[in-house]
Amino acid sequence: MKLAVPRETAPGERRVALTPDAVAALVKSGIEVMVEAGAGAGAFHSDADFQTAGARIVPDAATLYGEADVVAKVQRPTADEVNRFREGTVLVAYLQALSSPDLVQQLASRRITSFGMEGIPRISRAQKMDALSSQANIAGYKAVLIASESLAKFFPMLMTAAGTVFAARVLVIGAGVAGLQAIATARRLGAQVWGYDVRAAVKEQVESLGAKFLQFDLGVADAEDKGGYAKALTEEQSRRQQDMLAEKTKEFDVVVTTALVPGRTAPRLITKETVAGMRPGSVIVDLAAEAGGNCELTRPDEIVVEHGVTIHGPTNLPATMPVHASQLYARNVTELLRELVKDGALAIDFEDEIVRGACVTHGGEVVSEAVRTALAARNAS
């Protein structure tokens, strides 16, 4: 079985799907690994490192895809790349299948067996493959660092001869993995930190990191679905949430938003008016920028300054820390591959819970229930 690791082509992407360490482990288990020349450069892994680990360096993507049985990528492939895959190739990547219907249809028609890292179910056994968590962890950390850099203030409290500096007040909205890491990082930098989430169960988790939980009554029992993700709120509820949150948001120096609902545009939590009400010099880091943003003024991958408030909309923070991001992603991919490969040959058990969750297309069909529904909805409209 030949496993191919291409060079990422998306702009700004510096990660690589497998690191030399991961390659060495896979080679040891009997898999033949090919790496496109320069694939690891962004993450500071030279071709020589990959060679030492047992991989074969392939000069260009065309050759690579021409031979590959399995392709491991970070970003979803472009239409062009998909056309270069051999029919029946197995693809493992961060597909974002729910929001990329064209790609899914193309993968199906090319009879690619594709696995989306975002579809790994949240069960105990699959936690080591959970790339969403491993990368969100990085995003949460980096979001706070960006905020601290552009905040015109200290994070910690300091009592000095020249007077007292009060600690920055940080609000993290959405206490998923990224949110929790943002809370932890902001706390470590010395800020006063509050967390907020529509899921009541998360209060305990926010407090377990030593932060406070911002609470107000939305009239919902619990907005958590059985996979642990947030459910979409009704219009009435979301309006009330916005009102109360807007009122509270004005009191903070830094707001990090991470609220995402899978397969939908991100909920609007911070309006223009709220931003106008915030203290000048405050910072918003919107981690939902790619899905439309939690803040009305967010523009993906741009820095917007309105009413003296700086709004960041980074879409790919993990790529800014390519060494560790690649290391963690490579581990996730390796563990998934171990599920798909037995004794150096592909052996996919389509009944397995993990495979069922992550597999998007196979044998010319869209096999994922969730993606099929999303496609049908789009075709109807």
Partner 1 sequence: MTSELEVGLYIFLLAGFLGYHIITRVPPLLHTPLMSATNAIAAISLVGSLVVAGSDYSGVEYGWVCTLLGFVAVTCSATNAVGGFLITDRMLKMFKTKEQRESGKKRPVEALFYGGVLGGTLLIGWLLYRSTPEGMTFGEYLHRHVAEEALRYCYIVSAALFVVGLKGLSSPKHARRGMALAALGMYIAVVGTLFHHHVVNYTWITIGLLIGAVVGGWMGLSIPMTAVPQRTALSHSLGALAACLVGVSEYFRYQGELSRVTLVALDFEVIVGGLTFTGSLIAAAKLQEMLPGRPITYRGQNLISLTLLGVILASAVYLVVTQAATPFFYLMVLLAFVFGLLLVIPIGAADMPVVIALLNSYGGLADAAMGFVLMNKIQIVTGSLDGTSGFLLSLLMCRAMNRSATNVLFGAFGSVSEEEATAAAEAKGTVRNITAEETAVLFETARSVVVVPGYGMAVAQAQHAVAELASILHERDIDVKYAIHPVAGRMPGHMNVLLAEANVPYEQLHEMEAINPYFPEADIVLVVGANDVTNPAAKTNKSSPLYGMPILEVERAKSIIVLKRSMRPGFAGVDNDLYYNEKCMMLFGDAKDSITKLISEMKSLL
List b or e across 150-189, with b for residues whose CB sees 16 or more CB atoms inside 10 angstroms: bbebbbeeeeeeeeeeebbbbbbbbbbbbbbbbbbbbbeb
Could you say which residues in the range 89-128 bind partner 1, by CB under 8 A?
123-125, 127-128
Say whether 130 is catalytic. yes
Sign of dihedral through CA atoms 325, 74, 147, 176? negative
Q: Which helix (H) or strand (E) holds 58?
A: strand 56-58
Say whether 192 is catalytic. no
Distances (CA, A) of 193 to 6, 60, 61, 243, 290: 41, 48, 46, 21, 25
209 sits near partner 1 (criterion: CB under 8 A)? yes
As given in the structure block, the two tokens for residue 158 are 């300091």
As given in the structure block, the two tokens for residue 200 are 């009541």
Distance CA 251, CA 170 (A): 9
204 sits near partner 1 (criterion: CB under 8 A)? yes
Give the total of residues touching partner 1 (CB under 8 A).
20
Residue 247's DSSP bridge partners are none
As given in the structure block, the two tokens for residue 327 are 């290391």
Encoded one letter per residue, x for contact with partner 1 by CB under 8 A and - for no contact, window 131-170 reads --xx--x---------------------------------
308 sits near partner 1 (criterion: CB under 8 A)? no
Set 99, 114, 133, 205: catalytic member = 133
Binding test (CB under 8 A) with partner 1, winner from 60, 207, 243, 349: 207
Say whether 94 is catalytic. no
In 3D space, the residue among 137, 228, 135, 254 whose CA is nearest the CA of residue 184 turns out to be: 137
- Give the Cβ contact number of residue 268 at 10 Å: 16
Sign of dihedral through CA atoms 332, 335, 336, 341? positive
Closest separation in Å from C-beta 244 to partner 1: 25
As given in the structure block, the two tokens for residue 203 are 């209060």
Query: Measured in Å, how far apart are the chain's first and last C-alpha atoms?
Result: 42
CB-nearer residue toward partner 1: 208 or 215 = 208
CB-nearer residue toward partner 1: 53 or 209 = 209
Closest separation in Å from C-beta 183 to partner 1: 9
CB-nearer residue toward partner 1: 207 or 369 = 207
**Which part of the chain contacts partner 1 (CB under 8 A), choosing from 7-15, 50-58, 97-105, 202-210?**
202-210
Closest separation in Å from C-beta 206 to partner 1: 10
326 sits near partner 1 (criterion: CB under 8 A)? no
344 sits near partner 1 (criterion: CB under 8 A)? no
Closest separation in Å from C-beta 268 to partner 1: 26
Closest separation in Å from C-beta 134 to partner 1: 6
Distance CA 40, CA 74 (A): 12
Closest separation in Å from C-beta 140 to partner 1: 9
Could you say which residues in the range 27-66 bind partner 1, by CB under 8 A?
none
Encoded one letter per residue, x for contact with partner 1 by CB under 8 A and - for no contact, window 168-197 reads ---------x--xx--x--xx---------
Say whether 122 is catalytic. yes
In 3D space, the residue among 235, 228, 293 whose CA is nearest the CA of residue 259 turns out to be: 293
As given in the structure block, the two tokens for residue 381 are 């409209």
Binding test (CB under 8 A) with partner 1, winner from 9, 208, 265, 373: 208
Distance CA 341, CA 354 (A): 13
Say whether 133 is catalytic. yes
Set 111, 122, 188, 338: catalytic member = 122
Closest separation in Å from C-beta 176 to partner 1: 9
Number of separate helices (H) and strands (E) present in the chain: 13, 19
Binding site for partner 1 (CB under 8 A): 123-125, 127-128, 133-134, 137, 177, 180-181, 184, 187-188, 204-205, 207-210
Q: Which are the catalytic amino acids?
A: 122, 127, 130, 133, 229
